C-alpha cells in the first residue's frame, strides 16, 4: 500500500537541501571547529581523510594532523607495513618527546642509517643509552653518514659529561617554557635531554619543535595532537577472517596491539556493510581487549545499524553506503541511502547512544561539509583530497594536464591488493566472481593539502557565520533545512554566464 500511495521514505542528499540563514553576530574567522569523536579523541577541524590506498598513507596523515584533522591509514598493505606507516606519523613532530628514539653504543652507524630510512625519521641525532636506559652520550647527526657506516655508535657519540641535561623533576610545570629558556641561553644547542635522578633518559626537547610550537600558537588552526604532543593518527583494519570464514581473533588482537603500541589514536573497523555480525563481533572483541581505545566502525545507513555498533562498543560510526564519487554500490547492488537522509536517521540514533558519527563519502564541496556537519561530528573525504601532493601515487600528465590516480577500494584492482575483505569477499573470490563496487579514476592535481584544507575550512566557517554558529554544537542546533527544487538546484551553481575563471579550488565551487 505504502508503495503505491507514494508514502515511501524519501532519500535526500546534499544538493537536495540548503540551509536557511539566521541572525548572526559570528564572524567566520571567530568560529571554533573543534570536534570530539570519543572521550579521548579531539580534532581541531572535523575533517578525516578516507582509508583508501590512493588517499591516506603516512604523508597524508601527517599533513592532515598538522592541519588539525586526522588521516585514517588504509589497510591495503601488510599489517607490518601499516604499523610502520602509523609509526611514521607518530614520530613526525615532537615537543617534549617522552619516548625518544634511542640507540645503543654497540650498534653501527650503518644500522642507524637503515633505521632512519625504514621508519622515515626526519632527524638523525639520537641519545645513546645502555640496557638500563642510562644515558651514555648523544650521537650527533654529523657522524650519521654512509662514510662511517661500519663504525660504532660509541666511537662517534658525544660522551655523557659533555651533554646538557635537565632533571625531570625540574620541568613539571611548564616544560615548553623551560626548554625555550634553555635554548635561548645555550646558543647553538639543538637537543636537550631530560633524565631522572639516576641519569636514566626520560625524554628530550628539540629546538626546531619548540620554535614550531611558538609559531603554531599564533596560527588559527592548531595541529591535532595527543597528550604526548605527537600528531594524531588513525588506522583502518578489516574484520580479519580465517579461511573457514570465522573471525581471526588472534590476528585481530595482534594487529590492533601493534598499532596501539605505536600510539595509534583511533582504529576503524572499516567495511562496506557494518551492520553485520562480523563487524559487530570484531568491535566487541577489540573493545574488551582495549577498553580505552577510540573505535570507529562502519559503514551503516540506518538507526539500527548505528545502535548495533554503538552497543558493540564503537565510539564513532561511519555513515555512508553508495555516496562515494568512485562507488558503484548503488548501481551494482541496488542498495544505499542518499547521504543527508542517512545522516539524519543516524544522528538521532547516535544521540540516543552517546556516540559520534562521521559523514563518509559524496562530499564534493565545502557547502556539503557544512550540511553534513549539521548532523555529523566529522566528515570523511576521498575525492576532495586524492588530487593533493600528499596522496600516495605519482602525478600523471595527460595532454598537458596533471592528474593523480584515485580508485575505489571496491574496484577490482584495489580488491586484488587486499581490500576485498571490506566488501565481504576474500582474494579467491576476487579472482573469480566478486562484483566490483568501485571504479578507477583520475583526479586533477590540486597541489598541497594545506591549501585545499584552507579553502574547505574557510567554507565551513562561512557556513557557520551564516547560521550564527560559533561552534559545531551550535551549527547542529541552529540548522533549518530547505528542500531545493530542480530549478533551485540550477540556481545554486554559477549559471547563465560565460565562466572566465572558475574558483581556485574545487572546494570553493
- Residues making up the annotated binding site for K(+) are 322, 324, 327
| Residue whose CB is less far from ligand RVP, 52 or 128 | 52
Closest CA to 278 of 427, 426, 456: 426
Using rule CB under 6 A, residue 97 touches ligand RVP: no
Helix (H, G, I), strand (E, B) or coil at 65: helix
CA distance 212 to 217: 9
CB of 168 or CB of 440, closer to ligand RVP: 440
Q: Residues annotated as binding site for IMP?
A: 325, 360-362, 382-383, 406-410, 437
202, 225, 233, 327: the catalytic one is: 327
Clarify whether 422 is annotated catalytic. yes
End-to-end CA distance of the chain: 42
Of the residues 88, 225, 230, 422, only one is catalytic, namely 422
Q: With respect to ligand RVP, which residue has the nearer C-beta, 207 or 236?
A: 236
* Smaller CB separation from ligand RVP, 280 or 382: 382
Annotated binding site: 320-322, 324-325, 327, 360-362, 382-383, 406-410, 437
> CA-to-CA distance for 215 and 217, rounded, in angstroms?
5
Cα distance between residue 162 and residue 60, in whole Å: 39
The one segment of 58-66, 203-211, 276-284, 318-326 that binds ligand RVP by CB under 6 A: 318-326
Closest approach, Cβ 327 to ligand RVP, in A, equals 4
160 in active site: no
Task: Report the distance separating Cα 216 and Cα 275, nearest Å.
Answer: 41
Our CB check for ligand RVP shows the closer of 55 and 143 to be 55
Q: Binding ligand RVP by CB under 6 A: which of 411, 412, 461, 505? A: 411
User: Taking the complex as a whole, how short is the minimal distance between the CB of residue 269 and ligand RVP, in angstroms?
Assistant: 13
If one asks whether residue 410 binds ligand RVP (CB under 6 A), the answer comes out as yes
Provide DSSP, 224-283.
PB-TTSPBP-EEEE---B-TTSSB-HHHHHHHHHHHHHTT-SEEEEE-S--SSHHHHHHH
Q: Does 409 bind ligand RVP (CB under 6 A)?
A: yes
415: DSSP letter: H
Residues from 281 through 300 that contact ligand RVP (CB under 6 A): 299
Given candidates 326, 342, 373, 376, which one binds ligand RVP under the rule CB under 6 A?
326
> Which residue bears the cell 581541531?
44
CB of 42 to ligand RVP, least distance (A): 21
Please list, residue by residue across 209-231, b when 16 or more beta carbons sit within 10 angstroms of its beta carbon and e when fewer do.
Answer: bbebbeeeeeeebebbbbeebbb
Burial 117-142, CB ≥16 within 10 A → b, else e:
eeebbebebbbbbeeeeebbbbbeee
Q: Determine the distance from the C-alpha atom of residue 330 to the mean position of all C-alpha atoms in its chain, rounded to a whole number.
A: 26
Q: What is the largest CA-CA distance in the chain?
A: 87
Residue 72: how many other CB atoms lie within 10 Å: 28
Residue 52 binds to ligand RVP (criterion: CB under 6 A): yes
Rounded Cα gap, residues 186 and 206, in angstroms: 13
Per rule CB under 6 A, is residue 316 in the interface with ligand RVP?
no
The smaller minimum CB distance to ligand RVP, of residues 206 and 412, is found at 412
Q: Which residue in this structure is represented by grid cell 596523515?
A: 61
- Which CB atom, from 52 or from 139, has the smaller least distance to ligand RVP? 52
| Footprint on residues 421-460 left by ligand RVP (CB under 6 A) | 437-438
Grid coordinates given for 250: 588472534
Whether the bond between 242 and the residue before it is cis, its omega within 30 degrees of 0, is no
Minimum distance, C-beta of residue 148 to ligand RVP, in the bound complex (Å):
46
Three-state DSSP state, 380: strand
CB of 302 to ligand RVP, least distance (A): 16
Per-residue x/- track, 355-394, ligand RVP (CB under 6 A): -----xxxx----------------xxxx-----------
Residue list, annotated binding site for NAD(+): 320-322
Return d(Cα 440, Cα 360) in angstroms, integer: 19
Active site residue ranges:
327, 422
Residues that bind ligand RVP (CB under 6 A): 50, 52, 299, 320, 324-327, 329, 360-363, 380-383, 408-411, 437-438
Amino acid at each position: 500500500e505504502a508503495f503505491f500511495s507514494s508514502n515511501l521514505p524519501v532519500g535526500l542528499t546534499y544538493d537536495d537541501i540548503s540551509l536557511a540563514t539566521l541572525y548572526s553576530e559570528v564572524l567566520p574567522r571567530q568560529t571554533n571547529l573543534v570536534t570530539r569523536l570519543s572521550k579521548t579523541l579531539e580534532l581541531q577541524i572535523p575533517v578525516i581523510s578516507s582509508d583508501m590506498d590512493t588517499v591516506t598513507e603516512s604523508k597524508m596523515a601527517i599533513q592532515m594532523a598538522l592541519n588539525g584533522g586526522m588521516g585514517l591509514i588504509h589497510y591495503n598493505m601488510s599489517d607490518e607495513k601499516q604499523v610502520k606507516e602509523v609509526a611514521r606519523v607518530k614520530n613526525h613532530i615532537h615537543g617534549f618527546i617522552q619516548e625518544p628514539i634511542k640507540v645503543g653504543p654497540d650498534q653501527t652507524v650503518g644500522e642507524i642509517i637503515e633505521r632512519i630510512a625504514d621508519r622515515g625519521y626526519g632527524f638523525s641525532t639520537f641519545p645513546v643509552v645502555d640496557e638500563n636506559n642510562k644515558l651514555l652520550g648523544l650521537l650527533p647527526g654529523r657522524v650519521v653518514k654512509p662514510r662511517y657506516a661500519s663504525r660504532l655508535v660509541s666511537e662517534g657519540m658525544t660522551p655523557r659529561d659533555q651533554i646538557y641535561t635537565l632533571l625531570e623533576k625540574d620541568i613539571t610545570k611548564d616544560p615548553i617554557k623551560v626548554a625555550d629558556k634553555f635554548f635561548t641561553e645555550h646558543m647553538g644547542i639543538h637537543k636537550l635531554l631530560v633524565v631522572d635522578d639516576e641519569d636514566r633518559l626520560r625524554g628530550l626537547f628539540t629546538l626546531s619543535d619548540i620554535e614550531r610550537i611558538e609559531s603554531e600558537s599564533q596560527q588559527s588552526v592548531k595541529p591535532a595532537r595527543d597528550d604526548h604532543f605527537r600528531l594524531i593518527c588513525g588506522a583502518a583494519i578489516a574484520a580479519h577472517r580465517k579461511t573457514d570464514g570465522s573471525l581471526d581473533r588472534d590476528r585481530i588482537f595482534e594487529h590492533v596491539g601493534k598499532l596501539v603500541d605505536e600510539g595509534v589514536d583511533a582504529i576503524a573497523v572499516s567495511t562496506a556493510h557494518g551492520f553485520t555480525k562480523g563487524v559487530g563481533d570484531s568491535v566487541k572483541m577489540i573493545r574488551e581487549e582495549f577498553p580505552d581505545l577510540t573505535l570507529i566502525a562502519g559503514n551503516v545507513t540506518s538507526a539500527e545499524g548505528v545502535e548495533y555498533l554503538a552497543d558493540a562498543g564503537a565510539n564513532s560510526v561511519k555513515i555512508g553506503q553508495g555516496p562515494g564519487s568512485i562507488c558503484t554500490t548503488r548501481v551494482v547492488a541496488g542498495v544505499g541511502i542518499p547521504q543527508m537522509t542517512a545522516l539524519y536517521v543516524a544522528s538521532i540514533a547516535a544521540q540516543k547512544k552517546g556516540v559520534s558519527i562521521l559523514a563518509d563519502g559524496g562530499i564534493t564541496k565545502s557547502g556539503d561539509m557544512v550540511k553534513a556537519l549539521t548532523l555529523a561530528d566529522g566528515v570523511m573525504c576521498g575525492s576532495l583530497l586524492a588530487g593533493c601532493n600528499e596522496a600516495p601515487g605519482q602525478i600523471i600528465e595527460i595532454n598537458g594536464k596533471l592528474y593523480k590516480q584515485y580508485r575505489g577500494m571496491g574496484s577490482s584492482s584495489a580488491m586484488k591488493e587486499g581490500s576485498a575483505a571490506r566488501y565481504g569477499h576474500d582474494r579467491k573470490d576476487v579472482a573469480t566472481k566478486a562484483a566490483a563496487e568501485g571504479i578507477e579514476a583520475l583526479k586533477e592535481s590540486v597541489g598541497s593539502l594545506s591549501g585545499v584544507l584552507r579553502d574547505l575550512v574557510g567554507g565551513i566557517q562561512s557556513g557557520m557565520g551564516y547560521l550564527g554558529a560559533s561552534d559545531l554544537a551550535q551549527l547542529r542546533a541552529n540548522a533549518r533545512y530547505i528542500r531545493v527544487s530542480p530549478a533551485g538546484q540550477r540556481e545554486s551553481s554559477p549559471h547563465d554566464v560565460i565562466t572566465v575563471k572558475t574558483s581556485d579550488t574545487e572546494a570553493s565551487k
